[in-house]
Amino acid sequence: MIKMKHSFFATAVLAFVMLSCGAPDSGELPFLGNHETVDGEVVYHHIRPFRFVNQDSAFVTNETFAGKLYVADFFFTSCPTICPKVKKNMLRIYEKYEDRPELNFLSHSIDVKYDTVGRLRAYADNLGINTDRWHLITGDKDEIYGIAEDYMSVAMEDADAPGGYNHSGWIVLIDDKGRLRSYCDGTDAEAVDKFMLDIDWLLADVYGDDSTQ
Amino acid sequence: MLARTLNTVFLAGVLSFSACTNTSNEPAAEQQLWEEIMVVHDEIMPWMGELNSIARGVKDKIASGELTEAALSEWQASLGTLESADRAMWKWMNELQQIDKLRQDKSHQEIMDYLAAEKAAIEEVKNLMASSMASGKLLLESATSTENPEQ
């Protein structure tokens, strides 16, 4: 019975991930997370206000990404297993959209004690990234873990590992208004390929061009 | 005379083969122990989110001012062990030396000893995390059932 439950759950998760990460063949990329209706209007889940410090000691807030799309993830520099795989795929995304300044990146370190600004700077240098577009941030531990739950709320509902969202390798796509639009397993190259189709779709939808499609 | 020479050559061959086999097995043995450590790491790293979520719940309860003096010390002790488990995990991860680096200046035996000690250390972190999370969760659940006795 337990096996059946697991099998059903796994199938449901798989189906959801395929739907979430797959490019929209027709229709729109969905708004993920809880919706509520206020005065007759649907209000979609938004990423809460935040203020962190990046690898250059500059503040990074919601305003940093106003009017832009961004890809977010959670990592730490001493991570021996999952993070290097995710970073490799994040770099693939970064390189594909290197000439699209409308797409930014936000990597949150969950190791607030050891991942200092200097260490994040060295990590960024090692990745060879333009830190105007890809911010590696640190900050208050409770704030970072709190916002992780916000970003990963959709994944958490489906992941078979409660609390494991911050080391599961999920990456998420946020639109120009701070709404969750897609997510996938950042360790899985094929899932990331599909995720990039979602980015293509959203770039075209928000900025009205189809140069990436 | 010829038989003795052949015996010596055979023995030398066996010893060389045995030495080669042992040497070639050394990296595999080190790698296996490293992977055993990573299995524990990958099992408990996903707990960090939940550990911090429990710690935040305990912290909020302490800050609420609703606790009696006796209860307060119990909650503070729970928060202390949760924070200590969190610190232990980050310390372990940041101090762990990568296997390639170990191979630069350590003998096989030194590497095996180091990895065995790290395996014991990460098991200890695992136990600390599991026990602190269990006690923190219990406190939070008891507070919820006191606040909502019908649930």
Q: Which residues contact B136 (CB under 8 A, 6 or more apart)?
A: B54, B55, B57, B58, B78, B79, B81, B82
Interface check for A114 against chain B (CB to CB < 8 A): the answer is yes
Model pLDDT for residues A127-137, shown as the tens digit of each residue: 999 999 999 99
Show residues of chain B in contact with A78, CB under 8 Å: 93-94, 96
**Token duo for residue B130:** 């599991």
Interface check for B100 against chain A (CB to CB < 8 A): the answer is no
Q: Which residues contact B72 (CB under 8 A, 6 or more apart)?
A: B62
Show residues of chain A in contact with B53, CB under 8 Å: 145, 149, 163
B46 with A161: Cβ contact below 8 A: yes
pLDDT at A155: 62
Please give, rounded to a whole number of angstroms, the shortest distance from the CA of B11 to a CA of chain A: 44
Model pLDDT for residues A9-66, shown as the tens digit of each residue: 333 333 333 344 444 444 589 898 888 888 888 888 889 999 999 999 999 999 999 9
Q: Which residue of B has its CA nearest to A161?
A: B46
Q: Which residues of B10-35 are buried (b: 16+ CB within 10 A; e: fewer)?
A: eeeeeeeeeeeeeeeeeeeebeebbe
Q: Which domain holds residue B51?
A: 24-147
Interface check for A82 against chain B (CB to CB < 8 A): the answer is yes
Helix, strand, or coil here: B40?
helix
pLDDT band at B22 (very low <50, low <70, confident <90, very high): low
Show residues of chain B in contact with A81, CB under 8 Å: 38, 41-42, 45
Query: Which ranges of B45-107 does DSSP label H, i.e. alpha helix?
Result: 47-64, 69-95, 99-105
Q: Which residue of A has its CA nearest to B46?
A: A164
Interface contacts (A, B; CB < 8 Å):
60
Q: Which pTM does this prediction carry? A: 0.79
For chain A, domain boundaries: 2-207
A111 with B90: Cβ contact below 8 A: yes
Task: Please count the structural domains in chain B.
Answer: 1
A78 with B93: Cβ contact below 8 A: yes
Q: Does B124 reside within a domain?
A: yes
Q: Percentage of residues in chain A with pLDDT exceeding 70?
A: 78
Beta bridge partners of A42: A37
| Separation between Cα atoms, residue A96 and residue B70, nearest integer Å | 59
B90 with A114: Cβ contact below 8 A: yes
Q: Does B12 reside within a domain?
A: no
CATH class as words, domain A2-207: alpha beta
Partner residue opposite B48 with nearest CB, options A78, A82, A167: A167
- Average confidence score pLDDT of chain A: 82
Q: Does B71 reside within a domain?
A: yes
Q: Does B7 reside within a domain?
A: no
